[in-house]
Amino acid sequence: ANRAMFEAKRDTGTSHRYFSSHFAQAGGRQLQLEAELRDALRKGELELHFQPRVLINGRGVAGVECLLRWNHPVRGRVAPDEFIPAAERSGLIVPIGYWVIEQACMRLREAAVLGYSELVFAVNLSFRQFHDRRMTDTMFRIIYNANIDTRLLELELTESAMMHDPDYAQRCLRELHSLGLSFALDDFGTGFSSLSHLQNLPISLVKIDKSFVQRVESDEDAQHIVSAIISLSHSLRKKVVAEGVETAGQLAFLSALKCDQIQGYYYARPMPWADLLDYLEGPHRIIAARRGGH
């Protein structure tokens, strides 16, 4: 089926050539990107970076989000927004996604050995990955082999990934939750979701999309939306992370609303593993994640 979809995409790509050279070029680039991405895993060109998630009261780092980077030999570092869509379309996101989980588990174990025994590792799961037929089995196998504290592994899903088939989502999340994993709702506010389904799913955390966060200083509507998301989430007993916090003003606003955690350039950008270890040992050292109680 993946193959068929890939061929179908290829057909669409070629037929465009007759109508518009612009589309033909874009289509050609897409195909080349997909072909190169196919090799990227094997050639070791993929890498995880880690962005700290900081407790709002400044008591330390509660966790890190694992973010995929592609170090392309010619193009340089390719941003995920550029290649994740291609990986989704071609189905490559499935093997890549499992590689990401394996890497995250490996770092999680390393962190535990270093004494960061409460540091949460969050991994993004895209639509196609989540709907892979063998998702829960494969996840189970990876986690079992990695021998990690499953309480510390969190999966980030978007509203659309979960709402496409709420019954399926319910079943998968319950199964994975029974292994100890937890779930975050990513980019909240940008998709469509049914609150009743949200309430029924074992989601412990809501991440407010950065498009709202970055407007709270200038846009009153964004303030109301952020405020509503925080109070709704809290009333459903879910923690809230604000994404994309860049300024002291945004931080002050979120702090006043009792948002639980902050993720953004204001504190730290995504960074390679070695830099993260330096960051954790630096002036921001993570008392909370080391001793527990986040």
Contact footprint for ligand C2E (CB under 6 A) = 51, 67-68, 79-81, 84, 93, 97, 100, 124-126, 129, 156, 186-187, 210, 243-246, 263-265, 270
Q: How many angstroms from the chain centroid is the CA of residue 20?
A: 35
Does 158 contact Mg ion by CB under 5 A?
A: no
The residues that bridge with 154 in the sheet, in sequence order, are 122, 182
Nearer to ligand C2E, 51 or 182 (CB): 51
Mask of contacts with Mg ion, 9-28, x by CB under 5 A?
Answer: --------------------
Per DSSP, the three-state class of 188 is: strand
User: Which positions from 228 through 247 interact with Mg ion, judged by CB under 5 A?
Assistant: 243
> Looking only at residues 244 through 283 of this chain, which bind Mg ion when binding is defined by CB under 5 A?
none
- How big is the CA angle at 266 (ends 189 and 105), to the nearest 5 degrees? 75
124 binds Mg ion (CB under 5 A): yes
- 198 interface partner picked from ligand C2E, Mg ion, none, CB below 5 to 8 A per type: none
Partner from ligand C2E, Mg ion, none binding residue 254, C-beta < 5-8 Å depending on class: none
Q: Least separation, in Å, of the C-beta of 243 and Mg ion?
A: 5
Q: Given the complex with ligand C2E, which of 77 and 291 has the nearer CB atom?
A: 77
Phi-psi category of residue 197: left, alpha or beta, with phi > 0 → left and psi -120 to 50 → alpha: alpha
Angle in degrees, CA 219, 268, 203, rounded to 5: 70
Of positions 70, 186, 216, 289, contacts Mg ion by CB under 5 A: 186
Nearest distance from residue 47's CB to ligand C2E, in Å? 10
Output 119 or 213, the one with its CB closest to ligand C2E.
213
Nearer to ligand C2E, 272 or 293 (CB): 272
Residue 215 carries which side chain, given as an amino acid letter? R
Closer residue to ligand C2E in complex, CB, 75/115: 75
Query: What are the phi and psi torsion angles at 292 (to 5°)?
Result: 95, 170
- Per DSSP (E only), the strands in the chain are 46-55, 61-72, 76-78, 120-124, 153-158, 182-188, 205-208, 239-243, 261-263
Question: Which residues have CB under 8 Å from 44's CB, separation 6+?
Answer: none
Give the pair of three-digit tokens for residue 285: 């050292």
- Of 49, 81, 83, 86, the residue nearest 68 (C-alpha): 49
Minimum CB separation from ligand C2E for residue 28, in Å? 23
Nearer to ligand C2E, 88 or 175 (CB): 88
Phi, psi of 127 (to 5 degrees): -50, -55
Amino acid at 64: V
Longest CA pairwise span in the chain (Å): 63
Measured from the CB atom, is 160 or 223 closer to Mg ion?
160
Single residue of 187, 201, 239, 263 touching Mg ion by CB under 5 A: 187
79 binds, among Mg ion, ligand C2E, none (CB under 5 to 8 A by kind): ligand C2E
Write out the residues near Mg ion by the rule CB under 5 A: 124, 156, 186-187, 243
